[in-house]
Amino acid sequence: MNLVIDAGNTQIKFAVFRGNNLLHLQMGPHEDFADHVKGVFEKFPGITDAIISVVSNLDPQCVEVLTVFCRVYVLSPQSKLPFKNSYATPNTLGPDRMALATAAFYHNPNGNTLVIDAGTCITYDMVNDHGEYLGGAISPGLYMRYNALHEYTDKLPKLTPENILDFIGNATESSIHSGVVNGITLEIDGVIEQYSKRFHHLTVILTGGDAQFLSKRVKNTIFAHSNFLLEGLNQLLEYNKS
């Protein structure tokens, strides 16, 4: 069995895989790392290997704690990748984007795939039908946009995502919701259309914490897949073990 750990900007996910099957998923704050690891190994003592992807400032001692239980692979620019990496600055490519590109490569090995990860940031990652990772884009995520409007102004309130009844906001709060929610869905639809013009028979995967909220609003055909990054990490672990 494999343990997959995704240390994101806001929380850490712990997933247990047997082969390609996801057996268990839990999440929590960074400060509870050791407790979560202990709990996972109490439930699944057969775990032999783990991979960890870190995009935030995680205490290095967390990795040391993990090595007590099993072999550990820390995803880095030096890790082996199953796809051809054509990113101009491969040493700056985030481990989360490596995992998403890996999942895209295995999910649609002979096709063009755009992965949209709607988390703290929204990342766009493109793998073409030659198994080549081309890059993509990074933009502010849903909550980051709401927080920015509050933090960088004197009077705008801090809001959380809500359904918008109309794209024309008739009060301050509804105007903020329209600007953020409508703006982000128009961005995603626009990016998909832009990529579709260049890459034929494009498959679009939407994943990340805000995927379900946004998937109902995007007009283009997409596949919502909440655990796509975790599956990519598991595939990377298997690839590096071999």
Kindly tell me the burial class for residue 149, based on how many C-beta atoms sit within 10 Å of its own C-beta (0-12, 13-18, 19 or more): middle
Residues with Cβ < 8 Å from 140, sequence gap 6 or more?
121, 122, 148
Q: Which CATH code of 3.40.50.11890, 3.40.50.10490, 3.30.420.40, 3.10.20.30 fits the domain covering 84-233?
A: 3.30.420.40
Per-residue pLDDT of 84-140, as tens digits, reads 999 999 999 999 999 999 999 999 999 999 999 999 999 999 999 999 999 999 999
Looking at residue 30, its pLDDT comes to 81
Between 9 and 4, the higher pLDDT residue = 4
Residue 11 has pLDDT above 90, yes or no: no
117 annotated as belonging to a binding site for a ligand:
yes
* Closest of 89, 144, 94 to residue 115, by C-alpha: 94
**CATH fold for the domain made of 2-74:** Nucleotidyltransferase; domain 5 (3.30.420)
94 annotated as belonging to a binding site for a ligand:
yes
Residue 54 has pLDDT above 80, yes or no: yes
Q: What is the mean pLDDT of residues 69-90?
A: 95
111 annotated as belonging to a binding site for a ligand:
no
96 annotated as belonging to a binding site for a ligand:
yes
The catalytic residue positions are 96
Per-residue pLDDT of 145-154, as tens digits, reads 999 999 999 9
- Tell whether pTM > 0.75: yes
8 annotated as belonging to a binding site for a ligand:
yes
Residue 70 has pLDDT above 90, yes or no: yes
What is the Cα–Cα distance from 96 to 79, expressed in whole angstroms? 13
10 annotated as belonging to a binding site for a ligand:
yes
Looking at residue 61, its pLDDT comes to 82
**How high is the mean pLDDT of the chain?**
94
13 annotated as belonging to a binding site for a ligand:
yes
In the chain, ranges of CATH 3.30.420.40 domains: 2-74, 84-233
Residues with Cβ < 8 Å from 201, sequence gap 6 or more?
111, 112
